[in-house]
Amino acid sequence: MTYQAFLQKKSFNFEELLAFVYGTLVTDPPEHFEARLPAPPFLMMDRITLLEADGRGGRIVAEQDIRLDAWYFQCHFPGDPVQPGCLGVDAIWQLLGFYCIWRGALGTGRALGCGEVAFNGQIRPYNKCVRFEIDVRRYSHLKDSGASLIVGDGRIYVDDEQIATVSQARTGIFKDIRYPDYPRRSKHAVGGMMVREE
């Protein structure tokens, strides 16, 4: 699809998300269109069912189908399989980063933190579907640095029961932090602060 079609699309299926993961979804990407979602099995959604923008705010809804043989049920924990709660938090960060790109941000995404995380339920192998609902509280594009920042409050449901909340989740999109030449050494081969003084 074209970049303009990407910016206007309100939902994405699994095939489209995979194409985004591998950088093949947009046929005419602008310079610095570098952000990616994690590849499976770490991709934490099977579809994005709704993207809405309303000024600096908006809304995101996405779903993940639960699979009996999911990698995390094999190791977390033997004899007591449960999806790690941190993966739900990461799903919120993944979706916030995608939203930034959908709003026109250019660069590479990084999770920046969150406020309170509260769990009152769990995801087991015979559950069917996890739904992520995020209210975007603030989306900002910083013209001086070219960075984009987003803050959102997320709710996680399994089979329509709310099991977790993530408040003030934060993600950013930054230019010139990508490490495309992995595993070769380059200026981005070592982590630490995302912006360094030269």
Report how far apart, in Å, the C-alpha atoms of 20 and of each of 15, 39, 43, 67, 153 are.
9, 10, 11, 22, 24
pLDDT at residue 195 in the model:
59
Over residues 103-131, the mean pLDDT reads: 97
Q: Which pTM value belongs to this model?
A: 0.95
- What pLDDT shows up at residue 154? 98
Number of helical (H) and strand (E) elements in the chain, helices listed first? 4, 7
pLDDT score at 50 = 98
Query: 118 — phi, psi (to 5°)?
Result: -130, 130
**Per-residue pLDDT averaged across 90-114, rounded?**
97
How many whole angstroms separate alpha carbon 134 and alpha carbon 154?
4
The string of pLDDT tens digits covering residues 138-195 is 999 998 888 999 999 999 999 999 999 999 999 999 998 999 899 999 988 998 876 5
Give pLDDT, residue 79: 96
Name the β-bridge partners of 154.
134, 166
pLDDT per residue over 52-82, tens digit each?
999 999 999 999 999 999 999 999 999 999 9
Predicted confidence (pLDDT) at residue 198 exceeds the cutoff of 70: no
pLDDT of the residue at 192: 83
Q: Greater confidence, 2 or 176?
A: 2
Catalytic residue among 32, 76, 141, 188: 76
Nearest to 113 by CA among 151, 157, 139: 151
Is 76 a residue of the active site? Answer: yes
Token reading at 137: 């509280």
Whether the CB-CB separation of 191 and 179 falls below 8 Å is answered with: no
Q: Which two tokens stand for residue 142?
A: 């910083």
* Residue whose C-alpha is closest to residue 59's, from 20, 91, 94, 99: 99
Residue 144: the pLDDT is 84
25-44 burial code (b ≥16 CB/10 A, e <16): bbeeeeebbbbebeeeeebb
Topology of the domain comprising 3-174: Thiol Ester Dehydrase; Chain A (3.10.129)
Q: Read off the pLDDT of each residue in 114-120 and give the average, rounded to a whole number.
A: 98
**Kindly report the CA angle at 157 between 161 and 104, in degrees rounded to 5?**
155
> Residue 33 pairs with which residues in a beta bridge?
107
pLDDT tens figures, 17-60: 999 999 999 999 999 999 999 999 999 999 999 999 999 999 99
pLDDT at position 193: 73
What are phi and psi for residue 104, nearest 5 degrees? Answer: 110, 0
**Two structure tokens written together for 140:** 């900002």
Nearest CA to 35 out of 17, 52, 49 is that of 17
